[in-house]
Amino acid sequence: MKDLTFLLQNIDTIILGICLCVGFALKQAFTWFNNKYIPITMLCMGTIIAIVTNLGNVNAAVILGGMISGLASTGLYEMLRNLINIDGKSDTEGE
């Protein structure tokens, strides 16, 4: 198995937190917003936030960091949901 720790070094906690909150709000506020679109939405949002916060110094590392942070927010949400069993679903339901 390859070592993916270099990806963790690119996570921006501010972007992760913003994407986590926005993703949660989307999920709660809009019943028509399909869950399968949340990861791509957070990927795009994380990328845009990273670019805006690093204007004048945008490079591939900045873009990658935004993408990883946005996607990590969806994983963090799922982990927290499973930890506190927020919606009564078990880990095996829906598979």
Please report the pLDDT score of residue 95 as a whole number: 44
Please report the pLDDT score of residue 86 as a whole number: 59
Using DSSP, state whether 95 is helix, strand or coil.
coil
Domain residue ranges of the chain, discontinuous segments joined by +: 7-88
Residues of the chain with pLDDT under 50: 94-95
Please report the pLDDT score of residue 5 as a whole number: 79
